[in-house]
Amino acid sequence: MAVTLKEVAERAGVSRSAVSRTFTEGASVSPKTRAKVEAAANELGYSPNALASSLTTGRTKLIGLVSNNFHNPLFLEVFDLFTRGLQDRGLRPLLVNLSHETDPANSVRMLRQYSVDGVIVASSTLPPSFAEAFRDAGVPVVHSFGRYTTSPHVHVVGIDNIACGRMAAEALIARGHKRVAFMGGPEGATSTQDRARGFFDALASHPEIEASVSYARAYSFDAGREEMARLLQSDPAEAYFGGDDVLSIGAMSAIADKGLRVPQDVGVIGLNDMAMARWQNINLTTIRQPVAEIIEASIDLVVGTIERPDRHPETRLFPCRVIERGTLRPCPT
């Protein structure tokens, strides 16, 4: 079915090597043969088989894009940016949906079978050991939206979740709240753990402020709504740091159902700044995660590691900032 090198070579009256070289960047071909080859290739509609060439070059230009966040609207933006960013560099994303899988062995084996040049693990909930399994298998890897560790074994790109937690606490303090709370995602998610830690760190120097914590069972609307409904049954806090935007939106839905107003009765600050947060009917005050920068850096890093595999593991953290909208009362002036 497909046209091969050999057919082009015969038609152009040259050797197979000549054809191969015409399609290889920086190979030695005279303008004359190149012209002959290109003419023949056009007539036949030839384009080289990337997989066959990968056998000898050792490069497939395939990048495994591994994620378990297929229910978080932020990740639609993430996939959009990753696929575009990779395509712009001539790379192809091979998507792996982890869903409930937590053992990296299968993913590692599968992606090695396809000889991916590198892997990007895009997840804020997977443990660092997941990405490390790829490194151990000799596959260049970066953990995007991953957890910061002081002695990383793999490249990590993301935000400083501890700093974000702190930032959220400070935002609530600055608004004069005396009873605040952190409503996290699942307790096992690394991002939740870190955000909680930063949140309470910042509050440590404010003993006058009462703080509490609870965890939703998932980063989802329903979980946020349920958890907030539960919280509102007893004595709720004045303002909540929701571990994620969707969670916060769910929480706000429970607050509204209870007949309370946001931000007058209960304040909410989210995290992520997904597209939906700025919808006027949601208008969520939140902490913005610079998704585009994180993704750019992740791609740069994986490409860099492909070129120099022994490169030292690096952590790139991007600063977040509070986006003022309507779910937190203004700072007293």
List residues binding its own copies (CB under 8 A): 1-2, 47-52, 54-55, 60, 62, 65, 70-73, 75-76, 79-80, 83-84, 87, 92-97, 99, 109-110, 112-115, 138, 221, 225, 249-250, 252-253, 256-257, 275-276, 279-281
Taking the C-alpha atoms of residue 33 and residue 41, their distance in angstroms, rounded to an integer, is 12
The H or E element spanning position 144 is: strand 141-144
Residue 205 interaction partner, one of DNA, its own copies, none, beta carbon < 5-8 Å per kind:
none
Our CB check for its own copies shows the closer of 81 and 156 to be: 81
Per CB under 7 A, the list member of 11, 38, 44, 56 interacting with DNA is 56
The closest alpha carbon to 204, from 240, 165, 259, belongs to 165
Which CB sits closer to its own copies, 57 or 149?
A: 57
- Cβ 63 to DNA, closest distance in Å? 19
Min CB(200)–its own copies separation in Å: 29
Q: Which residue has the tokens 């919280």?
A: 231
Shortest Cβ 165–its own copies spacing (Å): 26
With H, G, I as helix, E, B as strand and everything else as coil, classify residue 122: strand
Sign (positive or negative) of CA dihedral 237, 243, 247, 248: positive
Binding of DNA at residue 15 (CB under 7 A)? yes
Residues 26-55 binding DNA (CB under 7 A) are 27-33, 46, 48-49, 52-53, 55
Assess contact for 165 and 223: CB atoms under 8 A: no
Establish if 102 lies at the interface with DNA (CB under 7 A): no
Q: How far is the CB of 46 from DNA (least distance, A)?
A: 7
Residue 97 site contact among DNA, its own copies, none (CB < 5 to 8 Å, cut-off depends on kind) = its own copies
d(CA 21, CA 53): 12
Exposed/middle/buried for residue 55 (C-beta within 10 Å: 0-12, 13-18, 19+): exposed
E-only strand ranges, 192-312: 210-215, 239-242, 267-272, 286-288
Return the range that interacts with DNA (CB under 7 A); candidates 4-12, 152-160, 169-177, 316-324: 4-12
Using the rule CB under 7 A, is 57 a contact of DNA? yes
Of 35 and 174, nearer to DNA (C-beta) is: 35
Give, for 322, the enclosing helix (H) or strand (E).
strand 321-323
In the block, tokens 């007893």 appear at 234
Q: Cβ–Cβ contacts within 10 Å for residue 193, how many? A: 18
Would you tell me which residues interact with DNA (CB under 7 A)? 2-6, 14-18, 20-21, 23-24, 27-33, 46, 48-49, 52-53, 55-57
